[in-house]
């Protein structure tokens, strides 16, 4: 709350917090882990299929538009809008 008193955050009642990136509308919460997935890394299509099933996003080790290094991927929740912060983190955890 102290930060919000000093710096205004753009917020819309329907869309949530507004950021420069439309994929972050809503809670803006992106929970992620770096995890080594050697068997799934061998079949990128299967990795994407599994991630999609659980509403997860697969990114390279250094973030969006990067390659995985040593089979280590950044896995995070894909959905941010229409979820509470708790639900966003839980969705990533459950996936």
Residues that constitute the known binding site for ATP: 30-34, 59-64
Beta bridge partners of 40: none
Tell me if 77 sits within 8 A of 30, measured CB to CB. yes
Q: What are phi and psi of 26, to 5 degrees?
A: 105, -130
- Binding site per annotation, positions: 30-34, 59-64
Q: Where are the beta strands (DSSP E) in 15-89?
A: 16-17, 32-36, 56-59, 72-77
């Amino acid at each position: 709350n102290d930060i919000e008193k000093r710096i205004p955050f753009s917020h819309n009642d329907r869309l949530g917090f507004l950021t420069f990136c439309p994929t972050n509308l809503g809670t803006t919460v992106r929970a992620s882990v770096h995890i080594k997935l050697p068997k799934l890394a061998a079949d990128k299509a299967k990795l994407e299929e599994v991630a999609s099933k659980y509403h997860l996003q697969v990114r390279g080790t250094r973030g969006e538009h990067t390659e995985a290094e040593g089979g280590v991927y950044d896995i995070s929740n894909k959905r941010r809008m229409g979820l509470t912060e708790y639900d966003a983190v839980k969705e990533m955890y459950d996936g």
